[in-house]
Amino acid sequence: MGKDAEIISGSVVRWYPLVAESGTGCFVKDVDGNEFIDFNSGLVVLAVGHSHPRVVKAIKDQAEKLIHYSWTDFYYKPIIDLADQLTKITPGSFAKKVFFCNSGAEAIEAAMKLARWHTRKPLFLAYTGSFHGRTFGTMALTSSKPVQRKHFFPLLPEVTHVPYPYCYRCPFGLTYPECKMWCVDFIEEEVLKKYHPPEDTAAMVLEPIQGEGGYVVPPDDYFPRLKKILDKYDILMVADEIQSGMGRTGKWFAIEHWGVTPDIVATAKALASGLPIGATVAREELMDWEGGSHANTFGGNPVACAAALQVIGIIRDEKLMENATRQGAYLTKRLKEMQQKYPIIGDVRGKGLMVGAEFVKDQETKEPAAEQVQEIMNKCFKRGLAIITAGKSTMRFAPPLIITREILDEGLEIFEGAVKEVAAQLR
């Protein structure tokens, strides 16, 4: 850690001093031999667990055969096989095309460029509290913390942010369902009709469940109503499934929970179980940009593709979406029981194994218990549970989708012990 502080860029922040050395399944070990239950999945990447044997074998086999051959200049088969699978598992039974890259931000960047290229329109809509990446394009969409944008202006100027449907802290001060979802009508009445012309709007980029913003789940009728408005004005819907996709919520992609079919889907993180890859999947007719308009060197690397093909196979064969639904329901139940015991837990929400518990100093005022949630996180780390927060004061539960009831219980016991102590101090 001392050497790291000397030579690693200061722009990154570490949650706690976990120096990872190895990982197996739902566990990560540090260099001193301490083992942690991993509720982070290495930042929501290791959906099939650490070093799944099928993934390891596929990586080894592919590395012996072909490690790289620049997909935008030549051909190789693993990329075609993966594209084929992605067109099948993403929502919508229509023909699709896939663009490959190396990260989540690049997948969204590609979606933005494609939306502009296809529609010839310059503007974008995005949400407050969103996180889409760190490149200049995606940073312009991102609005979850000021530090992510501070001193980097000017950004892409053509992005308008609208309030995310965060019912626990409604930006309009309303209550669902009496609000009649003013937040969705607001987009049409106050934004599109007043100052953000739909004729100039290429796409709206959204997280079906807001990740970095605090694991926020919109109400059930939100996305169907939003899609109607977007369709009415010919605005493309881009679903950023980088954190919520690949089975995490119990479906391949979270937007499926609302029966809505986006025009473009971006995926990365869990796609290749830790190898860098991103993919942008669009309706075939949208992906009509000309040769040379967008490309890269490393995208859809053959080793990453081989790993990703195994990830998709494992999620299917081991029924991990079913497990995410089952364990997620149990996790949510346990957290709701804790909420009854400890008023410091203000809200519990999520789908599948993407679950957040928001901490507040007072249930009435809902003042975020930001320091307390950090303290709980640090206590968990010291006792063998790797877990981190999201948003201002939400604990995020994103364990590998292979997790069993026993491991979940073990982790929750550590978590509850920490909550109990911190809640007692607050009283």
Residue 397 CB, nearest distance to ligand PLP (Å)? 15
User: Is there binding between residue 262 and ligand PLP (CB under 6 A)?
Assistant: no
Q: Give the angle 127-89-273 at the CA atoms, nearest 5°.
A: 80
Cis previous bond, 165, omega within 30: no
Coil, helix or strand at residue 375: helix
User: Is there binding between residue 242 and ligand PLP (CB under 6 A)?
Assistant: yes
Residue 299 CB, nearest distance to ligand PLP (Å)? 13
**Token digits for 269?**
């993180």
Q: Do residues 40 and 398 make contact, with C-beta atoms less than 8 angstroms apart?
A: yes
Q: Do residues 86 and 279 make contact, with C-beta atoms less than 8 angstroms apart?
A: yes
Residue 91 or 198 with smaller CB distance to ligand PLP: 91
Residue 183 CB, nearest distance to ligand PLP (Å)? 20
**Residue window 86-115: x/- pattern of binding to ligand PLP, with contact defined by CB under 6 A:** -----------------xxx--x-------
In 3D space, the residue among 224, 219, 215, 223 whose CA is nearest the CA of residue 178 turns out to be 219
Residue 118 CB, nearest distance to ligand PLP (Å)? 21
Of the residues 49, 165, 211, 328, which one makes contact with ligand PLP according to CB under 6 A: 211
Task: With contacts defined by CB under 6 A, name the span among 113-121, 147-155, 204-212, 285-293 that binds ligand PLP.
Answer: 204-212
In 3D space, the residue among 92, 157, 155 whose CA is nearest the CA of residue 122 turns out to be 157
Find residue 37's DSSP bridge partners: 27, 385
Of the residues 243, 323, 327, 332, which one makes contact with ligand PLP according to CB under 6 A: 243
User: Is there binding between residue 207 and ligand PLP (CB under 6 A)?
Assistant: yes
Of the residues 38, 109, 188, 212, which one makes contact with ligand PLP according to CB under 6 A: 212
Residue 105 or 110 with smaller CB distance to ligand PLP: 105
Q: Radius of gyration of the chain from Cα atoms?
A: 21
CA 147 to CA 140: how far, in whole Å? 13
Residue 26 or 206 with smaller CB distance to ligand PLP: 206
CA 207 to CA 188: how far, in whole Å? 19
Residue 105 CB, nearest distance to ligand PLP (Å)? 3
Task: With contacts defined by CB under 6 A, name the span among 60-68, 181-189, 235-243, 383-391 that binds ligand PLP.
Answer: 235-243
**Residue window 117-136: x/- pattern of binding to ligand PLP, with contact defined by CB under 6 A:** --------------xxx---
**Token digits for 111?**
């979606």
In 3D space, the residue among 37, 7, 32 whose CA is nearest the CA of residue 380 turns out to be 37
Residue 173 CB, nearest distance to ligand PLP (Å)? 27
Tell me the residue number closest to ligand PLP, measured at CB: 104
Coil, helix or strand at residue 359: strand
In 3D space, the residue among 131, 425, 109 whose CA is nearest the CA of residue 280 turns out to be 109
Q: How far apart are the first and last CA of the chain?
A: 36
Task: With contacts defined by CB under 6 A, name the span among 112-120, 207-215, 231-239, 372-380 that binds ligand PLP.
Answer: 207-215
Residue 296 CB, nearest distance to ligand PLP (Å)? 13
| Burial grade of 313 (CB within 10 A; 0-12, 13-18, 19 or more) | middle
Considering only residues 129 through 188, tell me which ones interact with ligand PLP, judged by CB under 6 A: 131-133
Q: Which residues bind ligand PLP (CB under 6 A)?
A: 103-105, 108, 131-133, 207, 211-212, 240, 242-243, 268
